[in-house]
Structure 1
């Protein structure tokens, strides 16, 4: 038999299969990937740097959906807000990947380059170097928490007896179906307001 025109195994197929497993169950294993692709486990290891390597391939795959050109916008807060919204959308498509990726160090070169651009944005805006990573980390807390919130059940609070918690029942009724989006907008606005104030203290500029 001649060689198949399409390779049975490559990094793209391994990544896609791992992402399918994560979307389904929140985790993956190399043997699971191999079984789904119909190959031996050892064959998978020929194409990737172990399980950690697959995690970084997943990170790169999801991050591809983030519009990095938003980091070229000015002023800095417009860029950061646009990046946050794109970042949230990318991870909201794969919320079960968030816990997996957040407990593994970021090593993927293309993802590191995205952080590099965010750091340059904040440094150019006037943030002291010691402030930069806390600002980025705080923004990620807002973004990733909101991405998980989007994946939560529509009825996150189940009230059996409205008379026992009447104020909660009233607040839930008033929240509407876009509760998660409104909560994200509120958190992002609060984050940006605080970040502007911190920058103003360092530069002496006025906040909006």
Structure 2
């Protein structure tokens, strides 16, 4: 038989399959990917640098949806906020991937390049070198926590008896609009206020 006109396996298909598995079950294995693609497990390893390599391919795929243009526009805090909103949206689309990605060091060159730009933004704004990664980590805590919250039920608190927790029931009844979006805006602004103070000290 001749070679198939379309390759049975490539990095693109491996990445897409791994992300599908993550979205569905919050985890993946190389044998699962192989079964989905109808190939031997060993064949997958011919295209990627092991499971860790697939994790980084998934990280790159999700990060492609992050708009980095804000990092080049406006004051540092406006730029950082714009990047954060896009970052949140990209990971909010794949919340089950977050725990896995957070447990693995970032190695993907295209993702590291985003961090390089964020670091340059903060250094150019006058932040001390020792403070830069603290600011970026704080931003990520807000972004990724909120991205996970996007996948949570709208009603996270179920009250069977209003009389047992009347103030909680009243507070929940007073929520208008998206609790998650408003909470993200509040947390992001609080983080930026603290960063501005850091810059002034």
- Name the TM tier (shorter chain): over 0.9
* Alpha-carbon offset, residue 177 of structure 1: 4.3
* Alpha-carbon offset, residue 176 of structure 1: 2.8
What residue is the counterpart of 1:59 in the other structure? 59
1:105 corresponds to 2:105:
yes
For residues 188 and 41 of structure 1, the distance between their equivalents in structure 2, rounded to whole angstroms, comes to 43
Q: Secondary structure at the match of 1:96?
A: helix
Aligned-residue RMSD, C-alpha = 0.7
List runs of 5+ in structure 1 lacking aligned partners: 202-208
For residues 68 and 131 of structure 1, the distance between their equivalents in structure 2, rounded to whole angstroms, comes to 21
1:81-96 paired onto structure 2 within 5 Å: 81-96=81-96
User: Deviation per CA, 1:16-71, whole angstroms, max 9, x where unpaired?
Assistant: 00000000000000000000000000000000000000000000000000001111
List runs of 5+ in structure 2 lacking aligned partners: none
For residues 33 and 12 of structure 1, the distance between their equivalents in structure 2, rounded to whole angstroms, comes to 12
For residues 100 and 175 of structure 1, the distance between their equivalents in structure 2, rounded to whole angstroms, comes to 32
With structure 1 as the length reference, what TM-score do the two structures score? 0.95
Count of matched residue positions in the alignment of Structure 1 and Structure 2: 201
What residue is the counterpart of 1:39 in the other structure? 39
With structure 2 as the length reference, what TM-score do the two structures score? 0.99
Runs of 4+ aligned structure 1 residues displaced above 3 Å come to: none
For residues 92 and 107 of structure 2, the distance between their equivalents in structure 1, rounded to whole angstroms, comes to 21
